[in-house]
Amino acid sequence: MIPFAMRNLTLLFIFLSPLTFAQEAQLTCCPEQPAAAKQKLMWQKLQQDIAKEVDDIDGVMAVGIYDLKTGTWVMAHGDEVMPQASSIKITVLVELYRQVQQGRLKFEDPYVVRQEDIVQDSDMLGALSPGARITLRDLATMMMAVSDNGATNVLIDRVGMDNVNRTLQELGLRTTKLRRRMMDLKAAGEGRENISTVREMITLLRLIYEGKVLNPQLTADFWKMLATYKKDSHMRKAVPEKVVVASKHGWLEGVRAESGVIFVKDRPFAISVMTTYLQEEKDGEEAIGRITKKAFNYFDRVGRATEYGRVVSNK
């Protein structure tokens, strides 16, 4: 007669499926998996985290994360057309640098400030007296550092809105469009919004990173300009101060967006987060910060880890 405990054990083995044994064998036979397999599991967890963020937002959110070393994507609603707010200023900066490279403009070209240049949120340009002489580089710095709308409009007029859009088309970006100047409420009311997708904004940044848009000297200068400190950048706030964050954020009522490249040592990545239809704008801001932090944590660990996942902290 089989004791009671042994009968239970026998039943347990009977109800275990062959798949369960196969899974167990797989887990126990090969404890030292290749580094790539381990990193794939970490990447899948990042994907799951991003999917949860997208599901939980009270509004609509698109997210793109691109590994500039491996060419791997995390994507959610990557082709959804979204309003850019001030993030579109990245495209204006690109066109300025392109025209400098072509010899059509120089960063040192002068500009004389006019009273009519001042629009809402022209904090730096508006602090200058009409008649003050500044340069195109000064205007670009204002556009990046404090998102100065007056400086942006001057640059749009100088490089040409049609030229910005033509360059975007030449680079294969069919959706991204600069369709109005900053604070043009009439154009906004008519639906002429500045738009893009996370796929296209990341593609633009990737092409610049790969040296396919600007020469090496101007590429390095572009990243330096885009990395100008921005106190309202939620990507900047999400990572350690020593890490270079070259991004541009934007906000409108119901909209928060930010795109850029985060230069993690040995594992830089491009990231774009766009939100719209927000009930509370702070939800979008906080989501941008959380997603950036999750992405940074992945790339930072992978960049510093040994083949077996041992993270070697910087000394």
Closest C-alpha to 201, from 296, 286, 91, 295: 91
Closest C-alpha to 275, from 61, 77, 75, 82: 61
Residue 288 backbone phi and psi in degrees, to 5: -60, -45
Rounded to whole angstroms, how far apart are CA atoms 274 and 62?
A: 5
pLDDT at 17: 37
Q: Identify the residue whose tokens are 């998996």.
A: 33
Binned at pLDDT 50, 70 and 90, residue 256 comes out as very high
One-letter amino acid identity for 191?
G
Rounded to whole angstroms, how far apart are CA atoms 143 and 134?
A: 13
pLDDT at 23: 35
pLDDT at 34: 54
One-letter amino acid identity for 94?
V
Q: Is a pLDDT exceeding 70 seen at residue 237?
A: yes
Q: Is a pLDDT exceeding 90 seen at residue 4?
A: no
Q: Is a pLDDT exceeding 80 seen at residue 312?
A: no
Q: Is a pLDDT exceeding 90 seen at residue 257?
A: yes
Which whole number is the average pLDDT over 7-34?
37
Rounded to whole angstroms, how far apart are CA atoms 270 and 245?
A: 10
Lowest mean pLDDT among 207-211, 300-304, 305-309: 305-309
Q: Is a pLDDT exceeding 50 seen at residue 21?
A: no
pLDDT at 115: 94
* b/e sequence 167-203, b meaning 16+ C-beta within 10 Å: bbeebebeebbbbbbbebeeeeeeeebbbbbbbbbbb
Domains of the chain by start residue, with CATH: 34-80+197-315 (3.40.710.10), 85-195 (3.40.710.10)
**48 secondary structure, DSSP code:** H
Q: Which residue has the higher pLDDT, 179 or 18?
A: 179
Rounded to whole angstroms, how far apart are CA atoms 284 and 281?
A: 5
Please give the share of the chain, as a percent, with pLDDT higher than 90. Answer: 77
What the block records as the tokens of 57 is 């937002």
Mean pLDDT of the chain: 88
SS3 78: coil
Closest C-alpha to 85, from 206, 229, 253, 204: 253
Rounded to whole angstroms, how far apart are CA atoms 65 and 262?
A: 11
Each residue's pLDDT tens digit, 23-70: 333 333 334 445 678 888 889 999 999 999 999 999 999 999 999 999
Binned at pLDDT 50, 70 and 90, residue 15 comes out as very low
pLDDT at 202: 98
pLDDT at 188: 78
Binned at pLDDT 50, 70 and 90, residue 147 comes out as very high
Work out whether the CA dihedral 65, 233, 174, 209 comes out positive or negative. negative
Binned at pLDDT 50, 70 and 90, residue 160 comes out as very high
Which whole number is the average pLDDT over 141-165?
97
Dump the DSSP string for 170-210: HTT-SS-B--S-TT-HHHHHTT---EE-HHHHHHHHHHHHT
Edge-to-edge strand order for the sheet containing 269-276?
73-76, 60-67, 269-276, 255-263, 244-252
Q: Identify the residue whose tokens are 């887990």.
A: 27
Work out whether the CA dihedral 57, 245, 301, 75 comes out positive or negative. positive
SS3 266: coil
Which whole number is the average pLDDT over 3-12?
40
Each residue's pLDDT tens digit, 127-139: 999 999 999 999 9
Q: Are strands 110-112 and 60-67 parallel, antiparallel or unpaired?
A: unpaired
CB 178 within 8 A of CB 164: yes
Each residue's pLDDT tens digit, 183-206: 887 887 778 899 999 999 999 999
Rounded to whole angstroms, how far apart are CA atoms 12 and 47?
A: 36
Query: Quick one: which H or E segment has residue 250?
Result: strand 244-252
pLDDT at 185: 79
Q: Is a pLDDT exceeding 60 seen at residue 5?
A: no
One-letter amino acid identity for 119?
V
pLDDT at 13: 33
Q: Is a pLDDT exceeding 70 seen at residue 120?
A: yes
Binned at pLDDT 50, 70 and 90, residue 280 comes out as very high
